C-alpha cells in the first residue's frame, strides 16, 4: 500500500520514494529520538526511586528497642486451654538493632516450670509503631509499640501444641 506525501510516496515499510525505484530517506529519526528520550527519562526515574537520599530522615523516627522487656503471659494452648501466669513472665531481650531491623532472644516460661529460650529477628514497620518477629525455630509475633517503654505482642505458634498469647511488656533496662 502506497500513500502520497508532498515529498514523494511512503510505501508500507515506511520508506519514502520518488515514485521510481530509488528510495529517498528513511523517516525514523524522530521515533528514535523519542525512544532515546523515553529511555533516559525511565532511567532517571528508576535512579531517583532507588536513591538513598531519604534514609537519614527516615531513621530519625525509628524507635530504639534495644534492651530487656518483661511482662505477664496470657494465652491459649491447644489441649490445655486458657493460661494466665501471674507469677511467671515472658522476657524479650533485643540485643541489636540496625534501622528498622532488630534481633535478640525471648525467654518463655513453660508449664513444667522451666524456661525456653528462642532466638528471633524482627522488623519495625514504616509507621514506627507496628512490629513483627519470627522465631528461628517456631512461632511469630505481631506487635504494637505502645510507648517508649511498653510493647504489646501477639505470639503465635502452630507447632504441637499450637498456642497464641498476648504479652504486654515493659522495658526494664
Set of cell numbers at residue 142: 505481631
Q: Is 32 left (phi over 0), alpha (psi -120 to 50) or beta?
A: alpha
- Residue 106 confidence class, pLDDT cut points 50, 70, 90: very high
pLDDT of 34-78, one tens digit each?
A: 555 665 666 666 555 544 433 333 456 899 999 999 999 888 989
Amino acid 53: pLDDT: 39
Model pTM score: 0.63
Domain positions in the chain are 3-51, 63-171
Set of cell numbers at residue 159: 507447632
Scanning the structure block, which residue is given the C-alpha cell 537520599?
53
Q: Where are the beta strands (DSSP E) in 45-136?
A: 67-77, 81-98, 101-109, 115-124, 130-135
The DSSP letter of residue 162 is P
Query: What kind and span of H or E run contains 152?
Result: strand 150-157
CATH architecture classification, 63-171 = Beta Barrel (2.40)
The answer to whether 147 and 169 are in contact (CB under 8 A) is: no
Q: What are phi and psi of 57, to 5 degrees?
A: -65, -40
- Residue 89 confidence class, pLDDT cut points 50, 70, 90: confident
Q: Give mean pLDDT, residues 126-132.
A: 96
The answer to whether 16 and 24 are in contact (CB under 8 A) is: yes
Query: What kind and span of H or E run contains 42?
Result: helix 29-49
3-state secondary structure of 100: coil
Amino acid at each position: 500500500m502506497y500513500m502520497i506525501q508532498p515529498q514523494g510516496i511512503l510505501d508500507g515499510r515506511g520508506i519514502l520514494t520518488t515514485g521510481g525505484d530509488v528510495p529517498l530517506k528513511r523517516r525514523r529519526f524522530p521515533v528514535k529520538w523519542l525512544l532515546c528520550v523515553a529511555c533516559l527519562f525511565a532511567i532517571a526515574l528508576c535512579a531517583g526511586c532507588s536513591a538513598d537520599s531519604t534514609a537519614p530522615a527516615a531513621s530519625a523516627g525509628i524507635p530504639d528497642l534495644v534492651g530487656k522487656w518483661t511482662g505477664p503471659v496470657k494465652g491459649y494452648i491447644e489441649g490445655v486451654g486458657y493460661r494466665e501466669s501471674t507469677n511467671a513472665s515472658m522476657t524479650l531481650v533485643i540485643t541489636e538493632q540496625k534501622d528498622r531491623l532488630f534481633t535478640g532472644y525471648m525467654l518463655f516460661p513453660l508449664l513444667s516450670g522451666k524456661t525456653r529460650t528462642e532466638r528471633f529477628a524482627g522488623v519495625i514497620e514504616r509507621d514506627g509503631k507496628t512490629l513483627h518477629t519470627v522465631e528461628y525455630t517456631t512461632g511469630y509475633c505481631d506487635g504494637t509499640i505502645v510507648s517508649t517503654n511498653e510493647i504489646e505482642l501477639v505470639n503465635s505458634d502452630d507447632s504441637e501444641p499450637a498456642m497464641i498469647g498476648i504479652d504486654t511488656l515493659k522495658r526494664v533496662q
